[in-house]
Amino acid sequence: MQKVNPRLEIREKAINIIFISVALLSSLLLLAMLLFILRESWPIWSQVGVMDFLSGTTWRPVSTPPQFGIAPMVLSTMWVAGGALLIATPLGFGCAIFLAEFAPAPVAAVLRPVLNMLTGIPSVVYGFLGAAVLIKFFEIRFDLVSGESLFAASLVLAIMILPFVTANSEVALRSVGPEYRDAAMSLGVSRQYLALRILVPLARKGMLGSLVLAFGRAMGETMAVLMVAGNILMLPFSWFNKGEPLPALIALELGSSIPGSMHYQALFAAGLVLILMVIAVNLGVNLLLHRLRSGVKPF
C-alpha cells in the first residue's frame, strides 16, 4: 500500500494509542480494586487466618479480644441468594417461554417494556416495600413479633432478579435456529412440546447462564437484604431465621469502624470474600457449561 500522507498516519497511530491506553487503564481498575481490598484486609488473613475467619461463627469486632468469624454472614448470603433463585427460576423460565413462544404480539409488546421498567426500580424501593408491606403482612398474618427473615429477603430478591432471568433466557430461546422449529412444527407437535422438549434443551446453556448472572446479582445486593433479612449475627439454621448477609454487614458497620483497626480490616476481608464468591460462582458455572453440550437428548 502506498503511503499517502505520513503526518496523517502518525496522527492515526497516536489516536489508536490513546484509545488503547484509556481502555486498558480503565479496565485494569478491576484488578486495582481487588489488590487494594486485598491489601487493606491483609492483617486479618495473616493474623486471624483464612480458615478461622471463614469458619468462625462469632463476630465481635470491638470486644477484647475481638472475634472475627464470618460463617453466619456467608451462610446467610448463600441462603438468601439461593432461595431467591429457587423462587425466581420457574417464574422466569415460564415467562421467557411465554415471551418467546406463546405471547401474542401486543401482549409481548407490553410485557417487554414492563420487564425493563422492573429493572429500573432501584433496590432501595424494593427493600422499602418489602419491609413496609411484606414484613408487615407476615407479622399480622402469622402473629410474629418481627417478620424479618431470610425467606422474606429471598422473596424480595426473587422479584428483583426475575426480569434478568426472563430477559436473558428469552434471548437464549430465540437464538435457537429456525430449522428446529420448522422441523418440529411440520411433524405436528404442539407448541408446548416444541418449547419444553426442543427449544429449552437447545437453549439450556444460555438459560443456565442467566441463572448464574442472577445469582451473582442476588449475592451482592445490599439494600433489599439490609432492610428485610433482620440483621442478626447468628448462624441461620433455617430459611425462616433472621440473618445478615455480607453486603449488609459491610454497609452497616463500615461507617462506624475506625480506619486501620482490625474491625475495619475485617470488613475489607468480608468484601474480598463476597467478591471472590461472586467470581467463583461465575467461573465455576462457566467451566461446567463449557463441558455441558447443548443439544436435544434422544428419548
Partner 1 sequence: MSLRAITDLLWKAFFWLSGLFILLVLLAIISYLIWRGGPYINSQFILGNPAGTPLGSEGGILPAIKGTLWLVLLALVFSIVPGLLTAIYLSEYGRSGRLAEMINLLVQSMSGVPSIVVGLFVYALGVVTLGWGISLLAGGLALAIMVFPVIVVSSRDALLAVDENYRLVANSLGVAQSYTLRRVILPRAAAGILAGILLALGYAAGATAPIMVTAAAIIADSSGALLEPVMALPYHLYILFNEHISINQAYATALVLVILLLLLNTLALWLHSLQERINNR
Counting contacts by CB under 8 A, is residue 155 touching partner 1?
no
Among 62, 86, 279, 296, binds partner 1 (CB under 8 A): 279
End-to-end CA distance of the chain: 59
DSSP 109-127: HHHHHHHHHHHHS-HHHHH
Touching partner 1, residues 28-57 (CB under 8 A): 28-31, 33, 36-37, 40
**Residue type for 142, please?**
F
Among 48, 134, 250, 285, binds partner 1 (CB under 8 A): 250
Q: Residue 4 class from Cβ within 10 Å (0-12 exposed, 13-18 middle, 19+ buried)?
A: exposed
Q: How far is the CB of 293 from partner 1 (least distance, A)?
A: 23
**Phi, psi of 297, rounded to the nearest 5 degrees:** -75, 135
Helix, strand or coil for residue 299? Answer: coil
Closest to partner 1 by CB, 15 or 287: 15
Give the interface segment with partner 1, choosing from 104-112, 149-157, 175-183, 234-242 (CB under 8 A): 104-112
Counting contacts by CB under 8 A, is residue 106 touching partner 1?
no
Touching partner 1, residues 64-93 (CB under 8 A): 90-92
Q: How far is the CB of 238 from partner 1 (least distance, A)?
A: 25
Counting contacts by CB under 8 A, is residue 105 touching partner 1?
no
Our CA dihedral for 116, 122, 128, 131, rounded to 10 degrees, sits at 60
Counting contacts by CB under 8 A, is residue 286 touching partner 1?
no
Contact assessment for residue 69 and residue 263, using Cβ atoms and an 8 Å cutoff: no
Counting contacts by CB under 8 A, is residue 23 touching partner 1?
yes
